[in-house]
Chain A
Amino acid sequence: MSRKSLVVLSGIVGGLTLCCGAALAHHSDAMFDHDSTLELTGTVKQFQFTNPHTWLQVVVKDESGKEVEWSLEWGSPNQLGRQGIRPSTFVVGAEVVVHANPMRDGSPGGAFVGAKFADGKTVGRWN
């Protein structure tokens, strides 16, 4: 993976387990490594504003330049909607930097933590 595109952030995950464990209460979240946080830089392909969980699909270039689609799971649209998140929060084609707790087995997926847009706006938890 390109260091510009995908960076492992350590030591910034304090408190995230509580946040995201509750958000993902519909199922076990054992597949996610809540002690690790990835930083992904890419382009929004889709924001699935659906139950039981929302999914942000982001296309990220790996080290070889190949585009890889990442699936990032977030809370339910009901929970997020009450917090001001909308289907239009992530516009298709937008450049975005995403923090996520990665899947333990290295698959291109994770638990969404927060995101920052090109204009500096952030959503979710952004430290």
Chain B
Amino acid sequence: MMKKHTLKPVIVAVVAGLLGSYAHAANQELPDWSGVWGMMGGTVFDQATRTGEGGSTTPGVREHPPYNAEYEARYQANLALRDKGILPDPNSLCGIPTGFPRIFNLPDVYEFAVTPREVWIIAENGPNIMRIYTDGREHPPEQDRWPTHTGDSVGHWEGDTLVFTTVSLHSSESGRTLVDRTGLMLSDAAQATTRMGIDTAGRLQVQLTIEDAKALTAPWVVTKRFNRLEAGTRVYDYACNENNRNPIDEETGWTYTIGPDGKVIDKAKEQ
């Protein structure tokens, strides 16, 4: 009897605590990330980790992840192809998601939809939608995972900051994805921890800490920032194949230009 009397309040307290915790999570006042946002800084990941001026299509611009020798050599090879305009980039093929982390490094605009159980990253330039589960679930066990463009993301709120981890990503070696237009690569061992929140200047700041035991010698910490655009700004669909007049030559990687008659007008292949 003594034992029962002693435990009862403890059990009640634990159950009440769990219910209270759940109720807190379910009813937590979520931050206001409504509206439309524009990415700052061009399509490079982080001003602090790049050299050169201009966008990521500009020769001379590169990022500096802490690559090991093998991946640095691969990146240098990609930069050389980029400088010639023949880097094979799946993003140019239309219809293929850029995936994570590149989803935070796109032109056009963004929406960040915060709901009690999920956060959705919706990029106008697409197809690019990323789901982050905040309902308390964990990543699937290893045997139930397979690589995808955006991987599997689960997270939680620390005040107004969303913290999430991402696993199960396509390797850049798969040919399905590149991390950016300069030719950044990650292996199938890549995973990330991301912190998202509004900074003191009112910008949505996304700090990614990317770890990759096969490609990096240390975590690669990069930050993207987004400005909230004028209220009422509209977002449109992005049907990349609607009128794509820039097909890629599979052999050379060259981007052709299609003329008004549907035929290639440039002579670059012969040059």
Residues of A within 8 A of B (CB): 17-18, 21-31, 45-46, 48, 50-53, 55, 57, 69, 71, 73, 76-79, 81-82, 103-105, 107-109
Contact of A27 among B43, B236, B255 (CB under 8 A): B255
CB pair A30–B255 under 8 Å, yes or no, is yes
Q: Is the CB of A18 within 8 A of B57?
A: no
Separation of A107 and B85 alpha carbons in the complex (Å): 17
Q: C-beta contact mask, B62-103 vs A, less than 8 Å → 1, else 0?
A: 000000000000000000001011110101101000000000
Contact check, A21 vs B94: say whether CB atoms are below 8 A apart: no
Which residues on the A side are within 8 Å of B109 (C-beta)? 78, 82
Question: Footprint of A on B, CB under 8 Å?
Answer: 42-43, 54-58, 82, 84-87, 89, 91-92, 94, 106-109, 124-125, 181, 233-240, 242-246, 248, 254-255, 257-260, 265-268, 271
A28 touches B92 (CB 8 A): yes
* Distance in Å: Cβ of B26 to nearest Cβ of chain A: 36
- The verdict on A55 contacting B243 (CB below 8 Å), with A28-B255, A107-B257 known, is yes
The 4 closest A-B pairs by CB, nearest first: A30-B85, A50-B243, A27-B92, A78-B236
CA distance A82 to B57 in the complex (A): 23
Q: In the complex where A31-B255, A105-B266, A107-B257 touch, is A26 in contact with B85 (Cβ < 8 A)?
A: no
Task: Tell me whether chain B's interface is mostly helix, strand or loop, or mixed.
Answer: loop
- Chain A residues positioned under 8 Å from B82 (CB to CB): 28
- Picked from A21, A51, A57, the residue with its CB within 8 Å of the CB of B240 is A51
- Say yes or no: A82 contacts B94, CB within 8 Å: no
Q: Known interface pairs A78-B108, A103-B266. Does A109 touch B257 (Cβ–Cβ under 8 Å)?
A: yes
A31 touches B57 (CB 8 A): no
What residues on A are CB-neighbors of B260 within 8 Å? 45-46, 57, 69, 71
Residues of B within 8 A of A17 (CB): 54, 58
Cβ–Cβ contact B265 & A71, under 8 A:
yes
A-B contact pairs, 17 of them (CB 8 A): A21-B55, A23-B107, A25-B55, A25-B57, A27-B92, A27-B255, A28-B255, A31-B255, A31-B268, A50-B243, A52-B238, A52-B243, A53-B243, A71-B257, A71-B259, A76-B238, A108-B259
Query: A105 contacts B58, CB within 8 Å?
Result: no
* With contact pairs A51-B240, A81-B236, A103-B257 given, residues A26 and B91 touching in the complex (Cβ less than 8 Å): yes
Q: Establish whether residues A27 and B248, one from each chain, have CB atoms under 8 Å apart when the complex forms.
A: yes
Q: Tell me if B58 and A21 are in contact (CB < 8 A).
A: yes
Chain B nearest CB, measured from A75 CB (Å): 9
Instruction: Say whether A79 contacts B245, CB under 8 Å.
Output: no
- Chain A residues in 8 Å Cβ range of B54: 17-18, 21
